Amino acid sequence: MTQADKLTPSIGITLDRFIKQKQDEFPFATGELSQLLRDIALAGKIIHWEVNRAGLANITGSYGNYNVQGEEQQKLDVVANVRFIRALRNGGEVCGIISEEEDSFIDTGNHQGKYVVAIDPLDGSSNIDVNVSIGTIFSIYRRVSPVGSPPIIEDFLQPGNRQVAAGYIVYGSSTMLVYTTGKGVNGFTYEQSIGEFILSHPSIKVPQEGKIYSCNEGNLLDFSAGVQHFIEQCREQRLSARYIGSLVADFHRNLLKGGIFLYPSTQKAPNGKLRLLFECNPMAFLMEQAGGMATDGKRRILDIEPKEIHQRTPFFVGPQNLMERLNQCFQQEEVNA
């Protein structure tokens, strides 16, 4: 290495270049999917800026409204929702959008678009005021309705095994975009000085000997016997308990360090709390591509046929060793029932 090389180290592969290099893996696509991923990355850069200036711009705290889930909207929820919808509509590749913040699907007017997107614009937004990591979750499907026609509800009610891409952006000590197109999982860190996402975590694989479990143990007494037994095993084996309460942050840590995330059904939420289309399907796709598993306690998440846009489900996701132990606990619960 020359002295000049030492003074000017390579910045690595940018997201744009990486997407172009991988485009040939999709013979059915002619650049639209690549452009769509760039549109999402662009919106992520804008939200990164909004999140970092939130405390100075008076956009923290409650907005005063409630979304379709009955959850109080935060100001940044509204900002992120608008930013992503604009980016996807203006990009021209998407004919329809569903958002966790919207009651029904959005017709973008781009009826020649081949794709639809499900998006949670700002997951974990209740943590904004206390400066805890939050994120965006996205999922991309090929439409089932004819190209050139308006989108229909069936374009969105597809099982997760039909996703063509999915990922998340985590806004924390650094901003990272992690995504899959069914050919492995790659992570990109935002380099603010040049305004680019740079490949920092190529070919992510979840550590198979997971040492972390993540759940809200305050609800322990409301969990099923199988889940309670599994948590008891985790304690006996001295696994580390780590729970942030922001799905993107919890999932991101567990993906990199090896851990299981549990959001079971409870008496208060018998169908679970997390949304199948906006949260569980994309995270399940990522985890499977990284070598892990995701179920609702009985079924593979990606095989569930959705019946409605805002459908909820119990959610268990992690490396195979912990997921297999959890499944054994569920099986024992059925024997004892």
Query: Do residue 166 and residue 251 come from a single domain?
Result: no
Cα separation values, 76 from 101, 153, 231, 245, Å: 11, 27, 34, 17
- Is 243 annotated in a binding site? The answer is yes
Contact 106, 97 (CB under 8 A): yes
Can you give the C-alpha Rg of the chain in angstroms? 20
- Is 324 annotated in a binding site? The answer is no
Give the model's pLDDT for residue 93: 94
Q: Which amino acid is at 110?
A: N
Whether pLDDT at 156 is above 50: yes
Give the model's pLDDT for residue 141: 97
Query: Do residue 267 and residue 179 come from a single domain?
Result: no
Give residue-wise pLDDT tens across range 44-53: 999 998 887 7
Q: Is residue 327 part of a domain?
A: yes
Distance between CA 277 and CA 283 in Å, rounded?
10
Domain boundary among 168, 201, 234: 201
Domain boundary among 177, 201, 225: 201
Query: Do residue 189 and residue 217 come from a single domain?
Result: no
Q: Tell me what the pLDDT averaged over the chain comes to.
A: 89
Distance between CA 94 and CA 304 in Å, rounded?
24
- Is 63 annotated in a binding site? The answer is no
Whether pLDDT at 7 is above 50: no
Query: Do residue 296 and residue 169 come from a single domain?
Result: no
Q: What is the mean pLDDT of residues 112-131?
A: 88
Taking the CA atoms of 77, 80, 83 and 85 in sequence, report the sign of the dihedral they define: negative
Q: Is residue 207 part of a domain?
A: no
- Is 273 annotated in a binding site? The answer is yes
Q: Is residue 2 part of a domain?
A: no
- Is 154 annotated in a binding site? The answer is no
Give the model's pLDDT for residue 26: 66
Domain boundary among 167, 201, 235: 201
- Is 174 annotated in a binding site? The answer is no
Query: Do residue 186 and residue 236 come from a single domain?
Result: no
Q: How many domains does the chain have?
A: 2
Q: Is residue 206 part of a domain?
A: no
- Is 211 annotated in a binding site? The answer is no
Question: What backbone phi and psi angles, to 5 degrees, belong to 73?
Answer: -75, 140
User: Which CATH number belongs to the domain containing residue 105 in this structure?
Assistant: 3.30.540.10
Distance between CA 15 and CA 277 in Å, rounded?
25
- Is 288 annotated in a binding site? The answer is no
Give the model's pLDDT for residue 72: 54
Distance between CA 275 and CA 258 in Å, rounded?
23
Which single residue is written with the structure tokens 């000049």? Answer: 4
Q: State the pTM of this model.
A: 0.91
- Is 177 annotated in a binding site? The answer is no
Give residue-wise pLDDT tens across range 294-312: 999 999 999 999 999 999 9
Give the model's pLDDT for residue 335: 86
Q: Domain of 32?
A: 7-201
Q: Is residue 124 part of a domain?
A: yes
- CA proximity to 248, closest of 203, 289, 206, 278: 278
Give residue-wise pLDDT tens across range 261-293: 999 999 889 999 999 999 999 999 999 999 999
Contact 62, 36 (CB under 8 A): no
User: Which CATH number belongs to the domain containing residue 246 in this structure?
Assistant: 3.40.190.80
Query: Do residue 136 and residue 223 come from a single domain?
Result: no
pLDDT category of residue 27 using cuts at 50, 70 and 90? low
Which of the two residues, 62 and 273, has the higher pLDDT score? 273
Q: Is residue 58 part of a domain?
A: yes
Give the model's pLDDT for residue 56: 47
Query: Do residue 186 and residue 232 come from a single domain?
Result: no
Angle at 18 between CA 13 and CA 23, to 5 degrees: 165
Contact 75, 59 (CB under 8 A): yes
Q: What is the mean pLDDT of residues 169-181?
A: 94
Query: Do residue 46 and residue 176 come from a single domain?
Result: yes
Whether pLDDT at 95 is above 90: yes
Query: Do residue 188 and residue 251 come from a single domain?
Result: no
Which of the two residues, 335 and 63, has the higher pLDDT score? 335
Q: Which amino acid is at 132?
A: V
Q: Is residue 80 part of a domain?
A: yes
Query: Do residue 34 and residue 118 come from a single domain?
Result: yes
Query: Do residue 41 and residue 143 come from a single domain?
Result: yes
Query: Do residue 184 and residue 240 come from a single domain?
Result: no
Q: Is residue 1 part of a domain?
A: no
Contact 62, 73 (CB under 8 A): yes
- Is 123 annotated in a binding site? The answer is yes
